[in-house]
């Protein structure tokens, strides 16, 4: 029993020592766990700070002029903006309006739709459903505000606006988070193309099937 009392007293004393003086002011410098004499250069490293002085350079400045040919981040070697294609990277025309149709740099083919279906399944299907009707698995857990891609409002929406929504999300954030950090621009356009394919499939008729493929569906 005596041991229990001693252990309890020690724990209480330790807790008071650690927590009891929080917020208090000390007159002496705090204990340096990694003193400079024991770990030289670890805490107080010699380095230049922006716009600081320098005794090494003749002009006394730490900041140096960039080497010839240096261009800002995001620009090409000739000085042109790497994202100068507003349609490809922002889904917009030069006048700022959203584009209709996919950018000229995007080739629409089976590979693009396959990529779009793959990315859609990973990032979009949980909320928007496999066929884009808004009946994803999240609806079972109370998220009932997911729109259907087959609403006339979204069917009439410019492709650039769909791309912009994927890029920046839909405010407030709990409605739809931005996916720019998960999907590169080409993948976002692939998703847009696949969404348009889902919309087309919803309203498709026999007349939309090329004659060469009607027999595959048992049609004459």
Residue 194 has pLDDT above 80, yes or no: yes
pLDDT, the chain, mean: 85
pLDDT in tens, 16-70: 776 666 666 767 777 777 777 777 777 777 888 889 999 999 999 999 988 888 8
Provide the pLDDT for residue 100: 96
Domain boundaries, the chain: 97-206
Following CA atoms 35, 40, 42, 45 in sequence, which dihedral angle do they give, to the nearest 10 degrees?
120
DSSP-assigned beta bridge partners for residue 61: 53
Distance CA 157, CA 135 (A): 20
Distance CA 32, CA 39 (A): 11
Give how far Cα 143 sits from Cα of 1, 110, 165, 182, 195, Å: 58, 33, 19, 22, 21
Whether 114 contacts 97, CB under 8 Å: no
What class is the 97-206 domain? mainly alpha
pLDDT in tens, 95-145: 999 999 999 999 999 999 999 999 999 999 999 999 999 999 988 887 777
DSSP-assigned beta bridge partners for residue 75: 81
Q: Report the percentage of the chain scoring pLDDT > 90.
A: 48
Q: How much is the pTM?
A: 0.63
Provide the pLDDT for residue 125: 94
Residue 77 has pLDDT above 80, yes or no: no
Provide the pLDDT for residue 81: 65
Length of the chain: 220
């Amino acid at each position: 029993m005596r041991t229990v009392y001693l252990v309890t007293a020690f724990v209480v004393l330790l807790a008071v020592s650690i927590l009891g003086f929080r917020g208090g002011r000390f007159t002496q410098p705090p204990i340096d766990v990694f003193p400079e004499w024991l770990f030289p250069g670890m805490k107080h490293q010699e380095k230049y700070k922006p716009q600081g002085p320098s005794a090494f350079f003749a002009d006394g400045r730490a900041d140096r002029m960039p080497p010839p040919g240096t261009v800002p981040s995001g620009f090409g070697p000739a000085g042109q903006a790497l994202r100068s294609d507003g349609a490809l990277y922002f889904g917009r025309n030069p006048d700022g309006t959203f584009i209709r149709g996919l950018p000229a740099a995007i080739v629409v083919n089976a590979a693009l739709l396959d990529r779009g279906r793959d990315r859609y399944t990973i990032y979009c299907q949980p909320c928007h459903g496999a066929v884009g009707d808004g009946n994803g698995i999240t609806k079972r857990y109370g998220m009932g505000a997911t729109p259907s891609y087959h609403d006339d409002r979204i069917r009439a929406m410019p492709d650039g606006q769909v791309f912009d929504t994927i890029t920046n999300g839909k405010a407030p954030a709990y409605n739809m988070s931005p996916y720019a950090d998960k999907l590169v621009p080409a993948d976002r356009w692939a998703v847009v193309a696949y969404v348009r394919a889902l919309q087309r499939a919803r309203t498709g008729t026999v007349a939309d099937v090329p004659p060469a493929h009607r027999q595959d569906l048992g049609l004459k």
